[in-house]
Homo-oligomer: A and B are copies of this chain.
Amino acid sequence: MYQTVVRYINDQNMLKPGARVLVGVSGGADSMALLHILQQRCMDNGGVLWAAHLNHSLRSQAGQDEQLVRDTCRRWDIPCYTKTVDVAAVAARTKRSLEEAGRDCRYQFFRELADELGADHIATAHHQNDQAESVLLHLLRGSGIRGLQGMQPVKGKLIRPLLCVTRQDIERYVQEHQLPFCQDLTNHDPAFVRNRIRLHLIPYLQEAFNPRIVEALNRLAAIAQEENAALDEMADRQWPLLSSWVEGTLELDADRLREEPAALQSRLILRALVEVSHQSDWSRDDLLKVRELLSKPGSNLILQLADDVRVGKVYHKLVFTQDLTDSPSFCYPVTVPGQVYIRELGMNYSLAIVPAQEWQPAPDTIALDLDRLASPLCLRSRQAGDRLRPLGFKGRKSLKKYFMEQKIPARQRNRIVLLAAGEEIYAVMGFMVTQPAVVTDSTRRILVIKARPDAKAT
* Chain A residues at the B interface, C-beta cutoff of 8 Å: 139-145, 148, 193, 196-197, 200-201, 204-205, 208-210, 212-213, 215-217, 219-220, 223-224, 226-227, 229-231, 233-234, 260-264, 266, 284
Bound state CA distance, A57 and B205, in angstroms? 32
A219 to chain B: which residues have CB within 8 Å? Answer: 142, 144, 284
Do A226 and B140 touch (CB < 8 A)?
Answer: no
Q: Contacts A226-B262, A230-B264; is A210 near B145 (CB within 8 Å)?
A: no
Minimal Cβ-Cβ distance residue in B for A223: B144
A144 to chain B: which residues have CB within 8 Å? Answer: 219-220, 223-224, 227
A201 to chain B: which residues have CB within 8 Å? Answer: 204-205, 208-209
Highest count of chain B CB atoms <10 Å: which of A219, A223, A266: A223
Do A261 and B209 touch (CB < 8 A)?
Answer: no
**Closest chain B CB from A59 CB (angstroms):** 25
Bound state CA distance, A432 and B234, in angstroms? 47
Highest count of chain B CB atoms <10 Å: which of A139, A197, A227, A260: A227
Do B220 and A139 touch (CB < 8 A)?
Answer: yes
Do B263 and A229 touch (CB < 8 A)?
Answer: yes
Minimal Cβ-Cβ distance residue in B for A233: B261
Do A216 and B145 touch (CB < 8 A)?
Answer: no
Bound state CA distance, A425 and B209, in angstroms? 43
**Closest chain B CB from A63 CB (angstroms):** 33
Minimal Cβ-Cβ distance residue in B for A140: B209
Bound state CA distance, A264 and B191, in angstroms? 41
Partner of A220, one of B142, B205, B215, B233: B142
Closest 9 interchain pairs by CB? A142-B216, A230-B261, A230-B263, A226-B263, A144-B223, A140-B209, A227-B263, A226-B262, A140-B210
Do B284 and A142 touch (CB < 8 A)?
Answer: no
A205 to chain B: which residues have CB within 8 Å? Answer: 140, 201
A193 to chain B: which residues have CB within 8 Å? Answer: 209
A142 to chain B: which residues have CB within 8 Å? Answer: 210, 212-213, 215-216, 219-220
Do A140 and B263 touch (CB < 8 A)?
Answer: no
Instruction: Give 20 A-B contacts (CB < 8 Å), ordered by A residue.
Output: A140-B216, A141-B210, A141-B216, A142-B213, A142-B219, A144-B219, A145-B220, A145-B223, A145-B224, A145-B227, A201-B204, A201-B205, A201-B209, A223-B263, A223-B284, A226-B263, A226-B266, A227-B231, A229-B262, A231-B231
Bound state CA distance, A226 and B200, in angstroms? 32
A226 to chain B: which residues have CB within 8 Å? Answer: 261-263, 266
A234 to chain B: which residues have CB within 8 Å? Answer: 230, 234
